Each structure stands twice: as structure tokens, then as C-alpha cells.
Structure 1
């Protein structure tokens, strides 16, 4: 787990220092506190080295983290929804994601269904690596009604100070190349 955290920190630093590249982050903030992140980037080395031809050129959803005190409130779902809306508007048709963590795998199985590929014992005995290949439109079209109710729940949560007329993207700040772009129409 520590190695993954360090690799994500390194990725974030590279994105901020680079003026080019295909990686970007979305950050959920409440007031001045960052409460969650998600990224989209070219496929990771873990996926590329498996030589899964259908996935090698597909971007990867990753770096999805929510502070423990905000988990279970729809923040991760909000980040995923906003990211997928952005990919849809950009004409990106597919994304992939992977996980070797059992808890994350259970959540991804519920959200994204059967993995495209399971590599048995990739991380050791009984620790499998799962990779999903998903069509963006499947999750945009099916999630609009769910997203509306999820955002209602997030907005009504008394520990999150948002008004009820906040739109779906209210808690998501767009961070691209290290700049806070939340006041601009960045992802249109």
C-alpha cells in the first residue's frame, strides 16, 4: 500500500511539473479541505506489461481516494460521475481501471460488473489483480438518475455545507497542471 501511495504522489508531482501530458486530476473540496481525488491517465505499467492489446491504448481511471471521515457519502461516486461526463464530452469512448485490493475490488465489482481480466495470484497467494474495461456511455446513461439522488444525499448531509440548489459539479474542483480551475468552465 505504501508503494502505491508513493507512486501516486510521484504521478501527481509529475503532472504538476509538466506542461504537457494526458494525465489530469479532479479534486473534491469542501471549503479549503481536499476530501477526495480521482485521476485519468494513460494505462499504468501494471496494465501495459500484461500486454492486453485491447487495453494498451485506453486511458485509466485511478487515484480515487476519499478521506475516511467523508467515505460513504457519495463523494467517490460524484468524482467518478464528473470524470465520466468529462470523458464523454471529449469523445473518449472507453476507460479501464485495475485493482489488487480486495475492498476496492468488491466495490468495483458492484459498480462496474465483471472484470475484463483477472490475473490469478498476481500479488501473491489468493491476491488477484482485476482489470475492468468499460464503455463510458454505459455509465453516463445509466447513472444520471442515480447521480441525481446521490448528489441530493451529499448536499443534504449536515456535515457538508452546501445549499440544496448546488449543481452536480459543486464539490469537484478541477486541477489540471497544478492550477485550481474551479471557477472556470474547464471541462466543457
Structure 2
């Protein structure tokens, strides 16, 4: 059976002292699920691993259950394979090479974004900030960074994200996850 490289994207851990998940314990947990070559990136919930078989949803469920059992709280988890992560990077509608990593963000979604959810956002009111929908992602250009972005606040409203798992990464992390999940040659 073929080995596939994945990234598990955890939502909302290690933010403001809440939902603390030490990276060494997260690596051990994912290894305990039978996965290989497990690495973590930053403290914000990125873990890469190699697995034989399985689909993204079942892998995400297993990691989520493991976190709940180990740490005592639920965490939303998305799992994406290398090919998908590379396609998201390559499809970026903004000039990523010309921007700082903090100016460009990708929000990974559990399903394809419904354009109707975003139709009420008055995009010109947020200029020069901008966003575009992609394959289970929202790309956000925020020239002053995510923390100051008024458009990010609109994109994160419950009415827009209802029923979705959504977790954001800056462009530097997007690129690094592609690198960390690259199959060995």
C-alpha cells in the first residue's frame, strides 16, 4: 500500500493559554495512531505525518479523538495531503512572491465554500484588503496583517462559517507545510 504524506491542521490550540497541546505529546499521540515520520511545525497546531491508506476525514477524526482522549477537550482537525496543499499554494490568486508572509493567509475549510455565504460582504469597503474562494479554502490578502484585518472579522462571522471547520495559516506556514509533506524521492 502506498504511503501518503499529510498535514493535520488543528484549530484553536495554544492560543492565549487555552487548549494547551504540547508539541512533543502531539507527536507521540500521532505516532501512537500508527503514523510515521511525525513532525510538528510551530506551536499553533500543525503536525505532518506519513500514513498507509485512510482518507482525510477518517484520519482527522482519529487525531481529534486522540486529542480529546489525551487532553480532555475537543479540537477541530482538518487533514490534507501533500498534493492538495501544493495545489492550494499553486492556485493562490494573489502575488505571493511579492508579499510578506503575514500579508497573505489561507483559511482551510472542511468543505467547499458556498459563494452565497460571502455575497453580502461589501468588498470595496475593506479595500485594499481582498479575498478569493478556492478549493476548500479562502485566500485573504491583508496588507496590515491578520490581527488588524477588518475583512478577516467579516470572513470569520458565524453566519459565514456556520457548519464549517475553518482554520487559518499565514503564507509562510502554507509554504512550509507543502515542504514538510513532500514525498521522499
Sort the TM-score into its range (normalised by shorter chain). Answer: under 0.3
Report the TM-score when normalising by structure 1.
0.27
Report the TM-score when normalising by structure 2.
0.27
